[in-house]
Amino acid sequence: MPNKPLSALTLQDRNAEVQIQVHRKWEFRGAVDNGPILHIDMILTDCTGNAIHCQIPSFLAATRGDEFQVGKIYKMTRFSVARAKSTYKPVDGDLMLYVKPYTTLELCHTSPSGFPLYVYHLTSYDKIDPDGSNARNFHDVLGIITEISAIKPVGNAHIPSSYNRHVLIKNLSDDILKITLWGKRAQEFSLTNTYDPQKQTPIVVLFVGCLPKEYQGEVLLSGGAACHWYFNPSIEEAEAFYSRIESEKINIELPSLDKQEITPPSFPQREHHNLKYILSLNPHDVPDQGYECTVTITCIPEGKTWYYIACNTCPNKPSIDPVIRQCSTCRSTNYCFRYKLTFKASDGTEEAEMFAFDNVARTIIGKPCPTVVASFPDASAIPPEIAAIVSRKYTFIIEFNSQSFRFLEKTLLIKGIVASYGRMTSLPIVQEKDDVQLPLTPTKNKLITTAAESPSTPMSRLSTADSPSMPQKLTYSPAKNKP
């Protein structure tokens, strides 16, 4: 069977044979460095210079993940061709590949020429927009390294602990861009064998697989598991940088922590419980660090407002009068829109109402609140962006909200997200309680089967999932007073 170019693959291909090189490979574990593998991602190339995204689902990660070695060339057959995800795309293209249990892989001992050394699509610094249409796709940038920070542990009792480091780069216009590397990527980044402090020769770097973010008003790129870098790459776009640095010297202080083993900060360990246990508790008995629970979002209650107008001057962001748009605390008229997201979720043992403030809600919805308000200003109706979160599965860090201490009705406040598992194809429901003798052998939870089908895909900064939308039992009115 002749090898088929990657560019010639179609959705109908089931028995095509391709000759590919594993160009890049990374494991996605969600929001934690040492969590379970949610999927393994690869960029595959062929000898004609084409590239395609390929994914190994979680249930095959342990058995098939090690078969694919970076830099090796293989003949691969019996893989699945699917439409490329619309978000978190590491390469351009309409299609992607999935490794299946029956996928065959044969190592090639001869290496044809033509496989690309670099796979990238550069974005200029001024086009990096954390709220733009490409905010959930990976960005590649080129620049000269000007500064490297030491590795710093980060985290608190509500967010899984990790560590990061910042790398500052500049373009030919001397615009500065911050790259924040996380976890293992932070520890792996080192200039020890590349930069000579005596000669001070500048280093050109190509970063690939970064996501645009905004922190305290600063636009930056975040480098997680998908991030990779190349020092002094031999690409056409770098030639102008090399011409400039011929007569330039840059003093880069190499952090002393490069050679040390970094241990993330330790925090009290949280227990993981199901909803039935958590809802049975007295709110006063929940520990300060909260509990973890894994649930699927089942519905969005109607009649709940999903955002409020907050003061942008006061530290605690109190609500602003929606009519006069003035803060009652400081009298400021500088306001912003912030989420107050309410939904119901279940794990099959119980269903609970959950609530999330702006930071957590933004991660779940995938868009900042002002962006959604601009297209859907009615706070009492359900916008499509929020309706779309139904059927997504998460592991949350939760505690009871303040009203649960005063009334019998309980609501869980989400303090953080441990992991995201993407969109589920069925929703768990709680079994009806019957006054009958229960069997000694536990029965499986009943499921509501939905029409959507989705491969096993995860989170976003946390999820990288992008599955077909699932019909929801939700109604929302057209936007009112649309600007």
Measured over the CA atoms of residue 393, residue 397, residue 401 and residue 407, the dihedral's sign is positive
Query: Is residue 354 included in any domain, yes or no?
Result: yes
Q: Are residues 244 and 205 in the same domain?
A: yes
Beta partners for residue 120, in sequence order: none
Q: What is the pTM of this model?
A: 0.66
Domain boundary among 229, 259, 289: 259
Q: For 195-220, how does the pLDDT look when each residue is reduced to its tens digit (9 = 90+)?
A: 999 999 999 999 999 999 988 789 99
Using DSSP's 3-state secondary structure scheme, residue 205 falls into strand
Residue 18 belongs to some domain of the structure: yes
Same domain, 167 and 49: no
Of 199, 230, 259, the domain-final residue: 259
Does residue 113 lie within any of the structural domains? no
102 and 157 together in one domain: no
Q: Is the pLDDT of residue 329 over 50?
A: yes
- Inter-CA distances, 92 with 8, 19, 118, Å: 15, 19, 14
482 falls within a domain: no
Q: How would residue 324 be classed by pLDDT, with cut points 50, 70 and 90?
A: low
Residue 8 pLDDT > 80, yes or no?
A: yes
Query: Do 37 and 71 have their domain in common?
Result: yes
Query: Could you tell me if 30 and 54 lie in one domain?
Result: yes
The answer on 98 and 164 residing in a single domain is no
Q: What would the pLDDT profile of 396-449 be if each residue is shown by its tens digit?
A: 999 999 999 999 999 999 998 888 888 888 899 887 655 444 444 444 444 333
pLDDT in tens, 58-112: 889 999 999 999 999 999 999 999 999 888 889 999 999 999 999 999 999 887 8
Q: Strand ranges (DSSP E) for 108-158?
A: 139-148, 152-156
pLDDT for 216-226, tens place per residue?
Answer: 789 999 999 99
Asked whether residue 218 falls in the same domain as residue 335, the answer is no
Residue at 351 is within a domain:
yes
CA 452, 137, 21, 24 torsion: positive or negative? negative
Specify whether 296 is located in the same domain as 411: yes
d(CA 197, CA 253): 8
The kind and range of the H/E element at 412 are strand 411-423
d(CA 454, CA 425): 7
What CATH code is carried by the domain that includes residue 93? 2.40.50.140
The pLDDT of 246-263, averaged and rounded, is 73
Q: Do 243 and 311 have their domain in common?
A: no
The answer to whether residues 282 and 254 belong to one domain is no
205 lies in the same domain as 312: no
Give the model's confidence band at 120: pLDDT under 50 very low, under 70 low, under 90 confident, else very high: very high
42 CB burial (10 A radius; 0-12, 13-18, 19+): buried
Contact 250, 144 (CB under 8 A): yes
Domain count of the fold of the chain: 3
Expressed as residue numbers, the domain containing 67 is 6-107
Same domain, 62 and 201: no
Q: Helix, strand, or coil here: 183? A: helix
CA distances from 115 to 19, 79, 204, 289, 309 (A): 10, 21, 23, 50, 53
| Average pLDDT along the chain | 83
Residue 474 located in a structural domain: no
